[in-house]
Structure 1
Amino acid sequence: MMKLGILGASGRMGKAVVANASRLHATVTAAVVSEQSSRYGEPIYPNAAEAGVRFQHAGEIVLHQTDVLIDFSLPQALENNIALAQRLGVPLVVCTTGLSEGQHELLAQAGQSMPVLYAANTSVGITLLRQLVQLTSAALPDTDIEIFEAHHSAKRDGPSGTAVALGESAAAGRGKSLSELSAGVRGDGLRETGSIGFSIMRAADIIGEHTVLFAHAGERIELTHRVSNRQIFAQGAVQAAKWLKDQPAGLYSMADMLQLKTLLKQLI
């Protein structure tokens, strides 16, 4: 089975990958936590008969310990995580949201010498939704677009990385960048026709909900994706890792993994 290294292993998504790895025909051989983590040194499977893999610091990971790294840590750790993947000579799947423009440039630079896949959301459903949003935006160029997103109360960034990615897909459908069309998080004042607005909700234990609404007078279309179990994200991340392991250097996306461009050409 593929050997996985998880960065941010004690977080919500890190724990989801650890819990589901064997079911997905992978094994977690490295579980990285921050220098400040209270979980350091604990076994990742506390109820197992033997301790097995324990939570480690990045500097303790050795060559050949993993086949690929999956990053579910925080944005501020990205540079160090790229350096770790380069030291180990393994591909890197980055699932961290809230990255800055400069950090996206770091990913592009890393992709020149190693396989890197960036996914603000590792759900296959969201990947398909982005394609539908781009198509709908292109077909309905004059509609107002509103992106609603809801997550648990502890989520740090807003709009979510997935909401921003959906906004980018909507803007791409109109041949523009999101910065040209974004109305930001909706508040007071009139909105410009055809702009892309964002609405945010943070409450309780909502895992993830996104709706993209296209509206003009007399008609609207809503495209919605809801997640009820984090296992979906874990499954997508491991699927991405398996695919990336066999790719040459480059910066990839979930759409690349699913070969959506090829599928669209076949349909057309």
Structure 2
Amino acid sequence: MSPLAAAIPSPAPTPRQPLRLVVHGAAGRMGQRIIASAGGEPAQWTLVAAVDRAGHPRTGTDAGTLAGVTPAGVAISDGWSCPADVVIDFSLPGAVAAIAAACVARKVPLVVATTGLEASDQTAIHEAAKQIAILQSPSMSLAVNVAMDLVSRAAALLHRSGVRADVEIIECHHRHKEDSPSGTALKFGSLVQDAMGQTRAAHGREGRPGARPADEIGYHAVRAGDNPGEHTILFGLEGESLSVNVRATNRDCYARGALAAAAFLAGKPAGLYSMRDVLGIA
């Protein structure tokens, strides 16, 4: 490089504009935490719409004020038509198909964080993913998704060893959670089943069900207090056991994970993505 060239400063990089964010389920507990977290990163996010069901009692309330942070200048409403870069859905199962259709119509990527979905909801998601980028996960927690990889690997190793491992999944959530077992618990079970081949599920036990069969996964759901979420996957062997435990201490971990997923998804080509893609897990 010549001295003259070295003396000429390189042009400053163009600042990246904040991503324009739409939150569905904005008046709910998780929607509020996402709005609060996004509000704390103004260089990364601009909230452009905060959507909840028609007739919600919080309609018209400033989304930031409702979330307990600085006013966002965006009111809770029942729809959106403004330009957006990504949508996060933390609403209810019955709304997912319509939200996906709206995102397809506007060509906006969608993060589906809602759980307890029906088969028809899954069909709508898969169809929409042919036209836009969609990321779906039973949990937005980064720690939970790392734990899923650990459980999958542990199940595969134990299965290859030929030893019997009885698998029990215990999950605990707050008293307001409507679906049971949690979508995360069912995903843990699916990973174990894929690796070990169990064909039966036992949801709690009472009376005299007899000896535990080897091809069974036990699920136990606890609903108490304000617990934001805890999952324990127990592998019971002869003379020893292995447990994988992951626990949320507040809902902000889910909000941060959802925002990480949204940042990853913005600008991606059409397809169905998961948190494994965000974490770079092969």
User: What is the aligned partner in structure 1 of residue 19 from structure 2?
Assistant: 2
Distance 1:49 1:139, change over 3 A: closer
Structure 1 moving runs of 4+ over 4 Å: 47-51
Greater mean deviation of Cα atoms: 101-110 or 207-216: 101-110
In structure 2, distance between residues paired with 1:35 and 1:53: 16
Identity over the aligned pairs, expressed in percent? Answer: 36
Tell me how many residue pairs correspond in the alignment: 255
Matched, 1:152 2:170: no
SS of corresponding position for 1:102 = helix
User: What is the aligned partner in structure 2 of residue 265 from structure 1?
Assistant: none
Cα RMSD (Å) of the superposition? Answer: 1.7
User: What is the aligned partner in structure 1 of residue 262 from structure 2?
Assistant: 241
Whichever of the two has the greater Rg, that structure is: 2
Matched, 1:45 2:67: no
- The 5-angstrom pairing of residues 207-246 of structure 1 reads 207-246=228-267
Q: Which amino acid aligns with 1:162?
A: T
Deviation at 1:206?
A: 0.5
Q: Indicate if the aligned counterparts of 1:211 and 1:224 stay in contact, CA closer than 8 A.
A: yes
In structure 1, distance between residues paired with 2:72 and 2:191: 45
Q: TM-score, normalised by structure 1?
A: 0.90
Which residue among 118, 121, 145 is the counterpart of 2:136? Answer: 118
Greater mean deviation of Cα atoms: 158-167 or 47-56: 47-56
Deviation at 1:258?
A: 1.4
**1:97-128 deviation digits (Å, cap 9, x = unpaired):** 10122322221111111100101100111111
In structure 1, distance between residues paired with 2:124 and 2:205: 31
Greater mean deviation of Cα atoms: 38-47 or 250-259: 38-47
Distance 1:50 1:73, change over 3 A: closer
User: What is the aligned partner in structure 1 of residue 6 from structure 2?
Assistant: none
Q: Indicate if the aligned counterparts of 1:171 and 1:181 stay in contact, CA closer than 8 A.
A: no
Matched, 1:201 2:222: yes
Q: Which amino acid aligns with 1:203?
A: A
Which residue among 27, 31, 49 is the counterpart of 1:14? Answer: 31
User: What is the aligned partner in structure 2 of residue 128 from structure 1?
Assistant: 146
Q: TM-score, normalised by structure 2?
A: 0.86
Distance 1:187 1:104, change over 3 A: farther
Q: Which amino acid aligns with 1:205?
A: D
Distance 1:87 1:218, change over 3 A: same
SS of corresponding position for 1:212 = strand
